[in-house]
Amino acid sequence: MTGRILVVDDVLANVRLLETRLQAEYFDVRTALNGEDALEIVRRERVDLVLLDVMMPGITGFDVCRILKQQAETAHIPVIMVTALDSAGDKVTGLQCGADDFLSKPVSEIELLTRVRSLVRLKSVTDELNLRAAAMQSVGVDPREIFTGTQLKGARILVIDDREASIRHLRKGLGRKVEAEFVTTGPEALEAVEKGTYDLFIVSLSLAGTDGLRLCSQIKAVDHLRHIPVLIVIDPDENAKLRRALEFGVNDYIVRPLDEAELRARVTTQLRRKRYTDRLRSMVTNAVELAITDPLTGLHNRRYLDTHLKSLLERSAEAGKPVSVLLFDVDFFKSVNDRYGHDAGDDVLREFSARLKKGVRGIDLAARFGGEEFVVVMPDTDLELASPIAERLRREVEASPFVTGSGLSLPITVSVGLACLEGKNESAESILKRADMALYEAKSAGRNRVVQAAA
């Protein structure tokens, strides 16, 4: 993981020290000696993270952070404040300005690289979200809210710790904005993660009778928990355990004695990352659904049908199993549009799609073929089984009139062409063509009937 880091400090020696450390890890480093230059660099070029000194002449680090986080174009850039100030009040001020993390001078190398890598990974996710910002706005989602909205409120956190002092600090630091559940042993933790849904795990590495590292690895190994961040609580002398934990995917750590302001900062950072990744994953899923779904009926579209049918026929031919294809056409649909309007026609298509979906099995694929034509693909089904199903669906359409949104009650019928897989070499185009020819025969014979394709 690499990225472009902006180091901002009014002391040149501090800048050079951080620059050398980061370049040794193959980060691309930019530097600035004051807040004004830092803001100009961020406006001018892509920056993946800002390491920002607090005490600078002119614009302070707090001011720079506040400006970056208030502007939609830069709000998603992670900011680590590097400070010689140790009071909780200073960290709270930094949090209020929007800082993502803190490092205290002199900066520990392991802390520096851990924090930087963690937040650069976070930035790579937000960059992907930015690319989709226009699409998000089109469906009523403001991308700025994703980057700057509240992260703590409503989050569910599982805390695994058995030290009373730690638990007190954790309860106070997390506050009432989150739903925090506390357990004290490894078995209790594993039982909880199987039953509950969480946004963050906080795990003490020094649990009595439990290997904290092994517990973290067990959590990370479960598929549905893989994307949930883990924040570990360590003692000052547990550097070896810390390195091992970071190697297999633990997201962040905090050192005892716990500082409540630092705890809130680290928890907020991890919840922000999870929120970004959850939203990105949801957007990708939605984009895939939109690409394969007919927007009017909610059924799969022709694109998905072509891909699905091709692969299904190949598998079925190899296994020697039958596949049947039913091609439906809504009878006299053009007259519905011409007489009652396209809104009524759309209502008819939606209602037919709902009846079709309800009338087929879970393993069957119902798709809109185009216009008023629909396809049902039935795996493991020969003509002997498919024909009565097609006839049942036809009768159900005829039996109940279709009621439109304006209250019209319209008698609707459908014609059906039916074809079954013939031989190992039959293509999707071939079986659909034969079903279409059977459909043409049904329409020519007077409509409202099922016709099987000739063998």
Active site residues: 372
Tokens encoding 146: 């994703």
User: DSSP alpha helices (H): ranges in 31-162?
Assistant: 35-44, 61-70, 88-97, 109-131, 133-138, 143-148
Beta bridge partners of 161: none
Sign of CA dihedral 367, 371, 373, 369: negative
The answer to whether residues 263 and 253 touch, using CB atoms and an 8 Å cutoff, is no
Tokens encoding 208: 């009595």
The answer to whether residues 155 and 175 touch, using CB atoms and an 8 Å cutoff, is no
Neighbours of 245 (CB within 10 A): 24
- Residue 20 burial (C-beta neighbours within 10 Å; 0-12, 13-18, 19+): exposed
Q: Could you give the CA distance from residue 353 to residue 194 in angstroms, rounded to a whole number?
A: 38
Q: Could you give the CA distance from residue 219 to residue 345 in angstroms, rounded to a whole number?
A: 52
Q: Strand ranges (DSSP E) for 184-234?
A: 200-204, 230-234
Q: Could you give the CA distance from residue 249 to residue 256 in angstroms, rounded to a whole number?
A: 21
Neighbours of 276 (CB within 10 A): 20
Q: Within 13 Å, how many C-alpha atoms sit on residue 1's CB side?
A: 16
